[in-house]
Structure 1
Amino acid sequence: MNFWKKVTGSDLTREWAEFEVRAAALPDDHRAAWEQIKIHLFPHGDFSGRNLMPILDSALGLLEETAADGQSIGEVLGDDIPGFCTALAGGEGARTYRDRWREQLNRNVARKLNRLGG
């Protein structure tokens, strides 16, 4: 990958546009599930969201295959789309960007307090 594309995120923009074109071809219920999947996976992304791209690609591929087979979303994902997304992101207790930021803030505060107290 080109360094400039990685820094500016233009590779992600292009890939994201391709996802949306693919999603637009899905039936309504599959497209609604895609929107829910995006909402529930975003908190598990890093700053750029680059770590989610393979996961989103796979989830969209699953939706495309099941739509082609004529399966409903209920048959594929059940009623628990948030649970499905949690499993995709690494299971219950998977760290979100808030968790990582909180840990970083706590480390920084502890370091500053150690400098003041010592």
Structure 2
Amino acid sequence: MKFWDTITGSDLTREWKAFEVRVGALPADHRAAWEQITGHLSSYSDFTGRNLMPILDGALGLLEETAADAQSAREVLGDDIEGFCAALAGGERGRGYRDRWRQQLNRNVARKLKQLGG
């Protein structure tokens, strides 16, 4: 990866466009599952989203394999796509940006309360 591509994010744009081409070849239920997966995984993203690219690639590969085996997305992913995404992102312990912000806010409030209390 070139430095300029990393700075501008053009490598991510190329990867995302390749994902879109692959998703376009999927059946409708698999495309709908892909939309749900990307929506749920976005909360686990870092600032750039670069950490999600391998996870998304794996999830899309799974959808492609199940489509080739003529399985429905629901058979493979089940009804709990949000839980599936949490497992992909590192389980329930997987921390998203909201969790990090919440923890930082709690630390700051606790620090201010200590300062006010003495």
In 1: Cα distance, 2:43 partner to 2:51 partner: 11
Q: CA deviation at 1:94?
A: 1.7
Distance in 2 (alpha carbons) for counterparts of 1:81 and 1:109: 34
State the partner residue of 1:60.
60
For residues 95 and 78 of structure 2, the distance between their equivalents in structure 1, rounded to whole angstroms, comes to 24
Q: Does 1:84 align with 2:73?
A: no
In the alignment, the residues of structure 2 paired with residue 2 and residue 104 of structure 1 have an alpha-carbon distance, to the nearest angstrom, of 33
- 1:101 CA displacement: 2.7
For 1:32, the equivalent position in structure 2 comes to 32
Note the aligned Cα RMSD (angstroms): 2.1
Give the fraction of aligned pairs with identical amino acids, expressed as a percent: 76
User: Displacement of 1:27 after TM fit?
Assistant: 0.1
Determine the structure 2 residue equivalent to 1:74.
74
Letter in 2 for 1:53: M
Write out aligned runs for 1:1-118 (5 A): 1-105=1-105
The count of corresponding residues between Structure 1 and Structure 2 is 118
* Per-residue deviation, 1:100: 1.9
Structure 2: which 5+ residue stretches go unaligned? none
Q: What CA distance in whole angstroms lies between the structure 2 residues aligned with 1:21 and 1:44?
A: 24
Q: Return 5+ residue gaps in structure 1 as ranges.
A: none
Q: CA deviation at 1:110?
A: 6.9
What is the rounded CA distance, in whole Å, between the counterparts of 1:109 and 1:11 in structure 2? 39
Task: List structure 1 runs of 4+ shifted beyond 3 angstroms.
Answer: 102-115
Q: Could you say if the C-alpha distance between residues 114 and 80 of structure 1 is closer, same or farther in structure 2, counting changes exceeding 3 Å?
A: closer
Per the TM alignment, residue 105 of structure 1 is displaced from its structure 2 partner at its CA by: 4.7
Segment drifting more, 46-55 vs 66-75: 66-75
